[in-house]
Amino acid sequence: MLEILERLAAAGINLLPLPDISTHFVFERDGFVSLVARDGDGFGAAGAGGLLVPQGFAALVWRGGSPFFVARGVELAATPEQVASLRGFVRDLESALGR
């Protein structure tokens, strides 16, 4: 587990301290987040990445060929740079977790 935490830190990925969430870890980088299942004392599978907004988790969805971050009551157009950053975050998270 220490090796995984070191890889996460090297990738600039932070573990958010959310004690009310007991079934998952929440990892963040540059405003992008992903839930990772708790697997005993380790890390399980990572969920889809998204953008952290005041309303919570905003998933990346495509409508008519255009990307949007969508959460309850909010829809934000996503820039190509945000899409690339989100994909990089997910790739780096999965790599650090050994997936």
- pLDDT tens for each residue of 77-96: 999 999 999 999 999 999 99
Residue 99 has a pLDDT of: 81
Phi and psi, residue 41, nearest 5°: -95, 10
Cα–Cα distance measured from residue 31 to residue 45, given in angstroms and rounded to the nearest whole number = 20
Cα–Cα distance measured from residue 84 to residue 77, given in angstroms and rounded to the nearest whole number = 14
For 8-57, the pLDDT digits (tens) are 999 999 999 988 989 999 999 999 999 999 998 889 999 999 999 999 99
Cα–Cα distance measured from residue 2 to residue 26, given in angstroms and rounded to the nearest whole number = 17
Phi and psi, residue 66, nearest 5°: -115, 140
- pLDDT above 90 for 70: yes
Residue 40 has a pLDDT of: 86
